Copies of this chain bind each other. A is one copy, B any other.
Amino acid sequence: MAILADLPRNAAGIETAVGVLQQRFGPRFGTGQALREQHGHTTTWLRNQPPDAVVFPETCEEVQEIVRVCATHHVPVIPFGTGTSLEGHVNAPAGGISVDMSRMTRILAVHQEDMDVVVEPGVTRKALNTHLRDTGLFFPIDPGADASLGGMAATNASGTCAVRYGTMKDNVLALKAVMPSGEVMVTAARARKTSAGYDLTRLMVGSEGTLGLITELTLRLQGIPEAASAATCSFPSVQAACDAVIATVQYGLPVARIELLDALTVKAVNAYSRLSLPETPLLLLEFHGTQAGVTEQAEVFGEIAGDAGGTGFTFTTREEERTALWQARHDAYWASLGLRPGAKGISTDVCVPVSRLADCVVAAQEKAAEMGFVAPVVGHVGDGNFHVLLLIDMEDAAEVARAEHYVGWLNDLAIGMGGTCTGEHGIGQGKAAYLERELGPEAMAVMRAIKRGIDPGNIFNPGKVGLG
């Protein structure tokens, strides 16, 4: 794939840095092929471009040492969390050192009264929520994978709960990062609100490791709600389902989750989980609040859904029944793979204004059918964000090329509707071609000026975010 050309390698510098770091980190440094490939990429369809070595720091000071060695010898530094990103963020197109944060897993402070927590970047979201179990608090961002919080911050992860609780942008209060200078930057105080200077926190969140390496995060937490309710409803068309979504959000119902499964996904789930849902578009919702509140909210949604043509509205506040109602969503990915056994799923991501969501989803379905793809759709529809899962035979080069064409077509469609080429997966390498089409030349010039100002040697994750 053209977008995955290798970049020029500084072979001599890399050799020197590898020698220095090997000496320094011993057993916490590796150059084995399997290790390197695993750190190049595991979860995308993009070509693997392994780093030259992997190092496992345990402290911020060690990260500073690594960065200084790499800066001295002009060697790329590629941060690595759990490797669950989808757009090639951890590939090493110019070689270099992958910095694996999986040993930095301390939870440094839980501030219950302030509802925040200070963590090292290798802590995963599930590990954090396990740790918080007895506090009455939880961290709400759920991108599906049990990703590391550092990686989630670096890529601005979000997922099913974003409609209620926001994305990582909204939930990182402050962070520390080792910058290309080797110095540690503190982006903000721990206060919940600040107007103190440029928003360095949000500049770093979503910068995909191109500006610095996150070594500490202060995260907002939420109180575990007293009660939750779940609801599902089938719709005759994607348009009808989207109309219900728009009406629900406009009504001001504080949905915690509102997910769309298209008819093909429902069919897959029926087969996979032996359910008998009507094979039409399905909305699944969750409400968080007081006992009376979540019942009332679900009932109001039922009325809205009925007005939009929905049928089979069901809701419950009981935990085991909630899990059963949401079974279809939890199984969607694996069930969808079952639609074409042996195929690999390529999950592509766009986000449009909600008013254009039905048009965009229907056009995406029609184009996929026209091109002969099996391509179920799931969406975080409260935000206008959806994923097409292309089921592809990765051994068939022509099919892969057609899939690449489809992804490009879908991105251009979303951009043309006032949307973005990525609601949550990020740019990485896979979306590099679309960023300028979306934002235009001046935004790119400004991003390049920022990158150059902070990382003049371009050693932090080169070849990502479309910045070269």
**How far, in angstroms, from A380 to B289 measured CA to CA in the complex?**
23
A42-69 residues with Cβ-Cβ distance < 8 A to B are none
Checking B195, B251, B439 against A206 with a beta-carbon cut-off of 8 angstroms, the contacting residue is: B195
Checking B191, B290, B292, B454 against A353 with a beta-carbon cut-off of 8 angstroms, the contacting residue is: B191
Q: Type the 1/0 row for A324-348, where 1 means its CB is closer than 8 Å to any CB of B.
A: 0000000000000000000000000
**How far, in angstroms, from A167 to B195 measured CA to CA in the complex?**
10
Which residues of chain B are near A189, meaning CB under 8 Å?
351, 415, 418-420, 438-439
Q: Is A369 an interface residue (CB 8 A)?
A: no
Question: Which of the 9-residue segments A261-269, A304-312, A442-450 touches chain B?
Answer: A442-450
Checking B223, B419, B426 against A190 with a beta-carbon cut-off of 8 angstroms, the contacting residue is: B419
Stoichiometry, copies per complex = 2
Which residues of chain B are near A427, meaning CB under 8 Å?
195-197
Q: Type the 1/0 row for A444-468, where 1 means its CB is closer than 8 Å to any CB of B.
A: 0111011011100000000001100
Q: Shortest CB–CB separation between residue A221 and chain B, in angstroms? A: 10
Q: Is A271 an interface residue (CB 8 A)?
A: no
Q: Which of A184, A421, A443: most chain B CB closer than 10 A?
A: A443
Q: Is A225 an interface residue (CB 8 A)?
A: yes
Checking B418, B431, B442 against A184 with a beta-carbon cut-off of 8 angstroms, the contacting residue is: B442
Question: Which of the 9-residue segments A30-38, A110-118, A232-240 touches chain B?
Answer: A110-118
Q: Is A205 an interface residue (CB 8 A)?
A: yes
A439/B186 contact (C-beta < 8 A), A223-B251, A355-B114 known: yes
**How far, in angstroms, from A101 to B232 measured CA to CA in the complex?**
48
Q: Is A246 an interface residue (CB 8 A)?
A: yes
Which residues of chain B are near A137, meaning CB under 8 Å?
250
Q: Shortest CB–CB separation between residue A278 and chain B, in angstroms? A: 26
Q: Shortest CB–CB separation between residue A300 and chain B, in angstroms? A: 7
Checking B170, B183, B431 against A196 with a beta-carbon cut-off of 8 angstroms, the contacting residue is: B431
A196 touches B353 (CB 8 A): no
Q: Is A440 an interface residue (CB 8 A)?
A: yes
Q: Type the 1/0 row for A191-222, where 1 means its CB is closer than 8 Å to any CB of B.
A: 11111111110110111000000000000001
Nearest CB to that of A168 among chain B residues? B195
Checking B188, B191, B296, B434 against A293 with a beta-carbon cut-off of 8 angstroms, the contacting residue is: B296
B254 touches A254 (CB 8 A): yes
Which residues of chain B are near A385, meaning CB under 8 Å?
191-193
Q: Which of A192, A435, A445: most chain B CB closer than 10 A?
A: A192
A-B contact pairs, 11 of them (CB 8 A): A189-B438, A191-B385, A191-B423, A192-B384, A193-B420, A193-B424, A198-B203, A199-B199, A199-B203, A199-B206, A290-B297
Beyond contacts A167-B195, A191-B353, A225-B252: 4 other A-B pairs, Cβ-Cβ < 8 A, are A111-B355, A115-B250, A162-B193, A186-B440
Q: Which 9 A-B pairs have the closest CB atoms?
A: A453-B453, A449-B453, A113-B355, A223-B252, A202-B202, A185-B442, A191-B351, A189-B420, A190-B418
